[in-house]
Structure 1
Amino acid sequence: MKKILITGSTDGIGKLAAIELARAGHQVYLHGRSMDKLSKIISEVKATSGNKNISGFVADLSDLNQVKQLEKEIIGQIDVLDVLINNAGVYNTPTATNTDGLDLRMVVNYLAPVLLTEELLSLLKQADKPRVVNLSSAAQAPVNLDVLAGNKTVSEQQAYAQSKLALTMWSFHLALQEPDINVIAVNPGSLLNTKMALEAFGNSWSPADKGAQILFDLAVSDNHQGITGKYFDNDQGSYGDAHPDVYNPSKIENLISATQTLLNQ
């Protein structure tokens, strides 16, 4: 039995992956923004899977102070973490920025998972063969550091694509920094039938189960054990090449430096 934390798991592929991991007997920790919704989903996952080892945490990942509080709650309740799936993501939002003036897509899709993962490294290092799975996307665009810092505004589509490339670049960086942790960035599939995709584009190409299955596999399958610093493209069903910037050390260095400056403010 592995202890697995999935952010953004009250709907979409995060919820579906949680159900399958629970069915397989793992201890699953869910995450959501609303206590009411989280409680309902915990009950649903327990009932659907027959697994009672399901609990969760509440935090709004668009608020980095709440992310810091989330880290403290997790560390206070969990002594070891085998798998962290950074699944939470946003595209359409009622407001473009958070209270700190940062683009919500940059915060939720990139800065929050970086902050959360770095603070949970101590728990991951207690596991035998820890894994971190970061949700990337087929949509990847060069990261403008002014957009990251909240000094420049771009379209939702551009901010989303930049946030996903940033997360992919950081994933490769983390894999080098922490060789004992398997780190994979994954495009779970383009236009899956999820609430986020339907709200953003109004249609879908593939069932959400496609994305949930690859999250399940990357989390626990022996087929992916020992693989790190790679990009899995679920549109192709295999590991493949990410955006060229992922393989550019100087661009990664600039991104990491800017990221740490923001997170240390």
Structure 2
Amino acid sequence: MNQKTMLITGATDGIGKATAQALAMQGHTVILHGRNAARGQAAVDELKKAAGHDRVDFMAADLSSLREVRQLAAAVQAKYEQLHVLINNAGVFMNERQLTEDGFEMTFAVNHLAPFLLTQQLLPLLRQSAPARIITVSSVAHQRGRINFDDLQSERAFNGYRAYAHSKLANVLFTYELAARLAGAGVTANCLHPGVIGTKLLQTGFGIGGATPAEGARTSVYLASAPEVETVTGAYFDDLRAVPSAPQTHDETTRRRLWEISEQLCQ
């Protein structure tokens, strides 16, 4: 793959940082996203040294804020003429129900609405840069998810794992609908399970350890850079392979309705 420009959300630590480092070391221009400017600059300095080039950038945004998601997209569009890869990697696991500044449940907002809106905002640049790739980090937890359109914000009853599983199911539904809508545009959309990886999210949500972030980054790096998947779209990957996702991910009515509601919520 020739030198490309890639944006990775949630890239100042964990899987996102490992993904950014691997792609930077392949020679690509990588834009790291995170919330903390100091941590972002430290990551940039570390990755520049590891990659041996200066094409590493950082942009700050709080993805729980739709306003800041829009600002992030605008900043990327203002600075870069091309964007070949968007990796929606950032995610949260909340043990207690919290609301964002927009009034949305935090897990749903950060894990689903943020990548939905960021992708929409960056689509013109991605289309212009085709062939381009959109990659969304989901989880095997999507298999336990269910989309309840009567309670998307978990107002009736909140459970951290359920909210997380629902948001990861939303990631897969979003990816499949996006792939269908982008057919013929030269922009692919795929999602993945990174594995059970020892990140802050895993510790917060499950209280266990796991494999290294570098191992968790493997499938994201593969989908971002491997020539053999350049035209693959609308697929769910695990351990570098396209595998079947849960039956509920193939409900076209659900995926279209989720898309339409997400558009309304992001207005």
User: What's the TM-score once normalised by structure 1's chain length?
Assistant: 0.94
Deviation at 1:243, TM superposition (A): 1.8
Deviation at 1:84, TM superposition (A): 0.3
Query: What one-letter code is carried by the residue in structure 2 that aligns with 1:96?
Result: Q
Same amino acid, percent of matched pairs: 34
Deviation at 1:101, TM superposition (A): 2.5
Contact 2:14 2:200 in 1 (8 A): yes
Distance in 2 (alpha carbons) for counterparts of 1:150 and 1:120? 29
Distance in 1 (alpha carbons) for counterparts of 2:33 and 2:169? 23
Query: What one-letter code is carried by the residue in structure 2 that aligns with 1:47?
Result: K
**2:28 pairs with 1:22:** no
Partner of 1:114: 116
Partner of 1:104: 106
1:58-85 CA distances to partner (integer Å, 9 max, x unpaired)? 0000111111111111111111100000
Distance in 1 (alpha carbons) for counterparts of 2:210 and 2:10? 21
Deviation at 1:149, TM superposition (A): 4.4
Runs of 4+ in 1 over 4 A off after TM superposition: none
Q: How does 1:68-217 map to 2 (within 5 A)?
A: 68-92=70-94, 96-140=98-142, 141-149=145-153, 151-179=155-183, 180-189=186-195, 191-217=196-222
Contact 1:103 1:159 in 2 (8 A): no
Partner of 1:256: 259
Deviation at 1:124, TM superposition (A): 0.6
Distance in 2 (alpha carbons) for counterparts of 1:76 and 1:150? 36
1:174-209 CA distances to partner (integer Å, 9 max, x unpaired)? 0011122111010111x2111211222222232222
Deviation at 1:148, TM superposition (A): 2.4
How many residue pairs align between the two structures?
261
Distance in 1 (alpha carbons) for counterparts of 2:210 and 2:43? 26
Deviation at 1:100, TM superposition (A): 2.6
Partner of 2:41: 39
User: What's the TM-score once normalised by structure 2's chain length?
Assistant: 0.93
Q: What RMSD, in angstroms, separates the aligned Cα atoms of the two structures?
A: 1.5
Distance in 2 (alpha carbons) for counterparts of 1:194 and 1:17? 13
1:223-265 CA distances to partner (integer Å, 9 max, x unpaired)? 212100011123xx5211112121111111221121112112x
In structure 1, runs of 5+ residues without a counterpart are none
Query: What one-letter code is carried by the residue in structure 2 that aligns with 1:262?
Result: L
In structure 2, runs of 5+ residues without a counterpart are none
